[in-house]
Amino acid sequence: MNAATVARSYIGGLVASLQSIPPETIGRIVTILERAREEGRLILVLGNGGSAATASHLVVDLNKTANRPGSPRLRAVALTDNVPLLTAWANDARYDDVFVEQVENYAATGDVVIAISGAGRSPNVLAAVRRAREKGATTIGLTGFDGGLLKDLVHVSVIVESQVMGQVEDAHLAIGHMLAAALHRSDLTE
């Protein structure tokens, strides 16, 4: 298969993945984030690998792009961005605890935890979501494939209908941009 054929196939799969995202669920997430904005709640975002990069990107968009004149600012933190803390927990406890320990530090009742996991099966992501729920946080999951275990642990789940990790990750990035645009209330052409 030549590169052009691969590209055409990938683009077709990505378009289908994006079309699988339910706009109503994006609306539910925006409502949760608007409430967090108005109440001054903390939004914690986490994920591994490519999902860690998406978590960092989403936090940039929530803290900058989603700003709206005359409204309070969102308060978002990526639990992936403090590498010394992440590696300290991985070294001194175990890697499965790198996010749950940070949730223990930061999450409170009414806060929001957004967990990103391509297949929805990462033990450290699942542990963090469980603890966040115990602490009274609202949980949101972005996943793909069949949603894994994550889909049933969170309050709101978006499952990107794809079996290709790259397309799932691309769609998760697009979801972040949708959320920021809706929170900013832009016309989506900026």
| 65 has a pLDDT exceeding 80 | yes
pTM of the model: 0.95
In a domain, 84, yes or no: yes
| pLDDT tens for each residue of 22-42 | 999 999 999 999 999 999 999
- How many Å is the Cα radius of gyration of the chain? 16
- CA 135, 136, 137, 143 dihedral sign is positive
Evaluate whether residue 179 is within a structural domain.
Answer: yes
Q: Give the model's pLDDT for residue 186.
A: 52
pLDDT of residue 107: 98
Query: What CATH number did the domain enclosing 118 receive?
Result: 3.40.50.10490
Which pLDDT value is given to residue 1?
Answer: 79
The single-letter DSSP state of residue 74 is: P
CA 170, 171, 175 angle in degrees (round to 5)?
120
Q: pLDDT tens, 140-151?
A: 999 999 999 999
The pLDDT mean for the chain works out to 96
CA 25, chain centre distance (Å)? 13
How far apart CA 118 and CA 130 sit, in angstroms, is: 18
Indicate whether 63 pLDDT > 80.
yes
Domain ranges, residue 83: 3-184
Tell me the DSSP string of 87-147. Answer: HHHHHHT-GGGTTHHHHHHH--TT-EEEEE-SSS--HHHHHHHHHHHHTT-EEEEEEETT-
What is the number of domains present in the chain? 1
Distance CA(114)–CA(137), nearest Å, equals: 10
Residue 189 has a pLDDT of: 44
Residue 190 lies inside a defined structural domain of this protein: no
